[in-house]
Amino acid sequence: MLNKESISLLFEEQLASWEQAGNNYKALEGVVAKEVMVDGFPFKVQFNPARIVSSAAKVDAKSIQERKCFLCAANRPAIQKGIDYIYGGDSSNPYTVLINPFPIFPRHLTIPVVAHQDQLIDGKFDAMLDLAAHMPDYSLFYNGPKCGASAPDHFHFQAGNKGFLPLEENLPSMPRTILYEEEGTKVFSIKKSINGLIVIESSRREVAAEMFDEIYSLLEVKEGEREPMLNILCWYKGGVWTTALFIRSKHRPSHYFEEGEKNILISPASVDLGGVFITPLEKDFEKMGSVEIKEILSEVLISFEELALLAQKIKTKLNSL
């Protein structure tokens, strides 16, 4: 059964028996971090060498086809154990809760669906909300197939312990535009610090899911893609589900492709957009400041101007329901 106790036991057993994972979690104790203010928002920049596996992951179709899927049970290390999770009694589509052996968080989980299927959120957001309620000490996140996911061929969520991402603490004070409001539910866009951000807050899971579906239906699907480009953070606290939707315009920033000193090896995903930029190379950790963070956000997320146009469409649609 998935609960606080079973997750704690999983970490205890895996970190004691799995040397690679144990070493990587212990290495987190020595990870260096700094705070960088961007328009009043306290971003953290973390130097985490172990995350080179994810930041530099090749996610083109050819590379994906040529490697074994590391989220399929048959290809995972024999020592890696998990907790079964079945959403809504649908035993035909179970998930497995695993510890992530290349952590960002002091407690970092990966939650793949058992069957090998593409990373597409449509039809699975309900499970994300349910997981958040089952794991109130964690924030759940979803990275789209071209939005930071290093396994776009196998559907999965991730989760990290609460209190780590600056967005969790700072969201209540961020300037916003209310798009929809009823008893127990708010939908709003953020006007400062992080562009391309829409937030759903609701005390009713079915309403949160409905709001998500309506917003999702308005998002652009780029040519050749199967879903809109987005990252999702979701957490449950005090009877309320909070869902942050980061609307993307681009997979990787120009900094990723620069040569020499101008290169910054960063492929932003939910954790970065939630306020913790992960740099696997020390040179990038040293150079990352407010200018670089603003440039990266402006490239990978839709602009405040584009967000305002989208927000108006969202407001019109939600208020016509």
Which tokens is 64 given? 């994906």
Q: What one-letter code names the amino acid at 313?
A: K
Angle at 240 between CA 143 and CA 83, to 5 degrees: 55
Name the pTM for this structure.
0.94
Pick the closest to residue 46 from 111, 106, 136, 110 (CA basis): 106
pLDDT score at 167: 98
3-state secondary structure of 157: strand
- The residues pairing with 176 across neighbouring beta strands, listed in sequence order, are 190
CB 266 within 8 A of CB 55: yes
CB 213 within 8 A of CB 174: no
145 Cβ neighbours under 8 A, 6+ residues apart: 59, 118, 119, 120, 152, 225, 226, 227
Low-confidence stretches of the chain (pLDDT beneath 70): 52-64, 89-90
Pick the closest to residue 195 from 131, 256, 268 (CA basis): 268
Chain centroid offset of residue 191 CA: 21
Pick the closest to residue 211 from 175, 241, 250 (CA basis): 241
CB 268 within 8 A of CB 296: yes
Sheet arrangement for strand 197-202: 82-85, 95-99, 108-112, 156-161, 138-143, 230-237, 240-247, 197-202, 185-190, 176-182
CB 317 within 8 A of CB 216: no
pLDDT score at 92: 74
Q: How many CB atoms lie within 10 A of CB 153?
A: 18
261 Cβ neighbours under 8 A, 6+ residues apart: none
pLDDT score at 52: 59
3-state secondary structure of 278: strand
Angstrom distance (rounded) from CA 170 to CA 25: 27
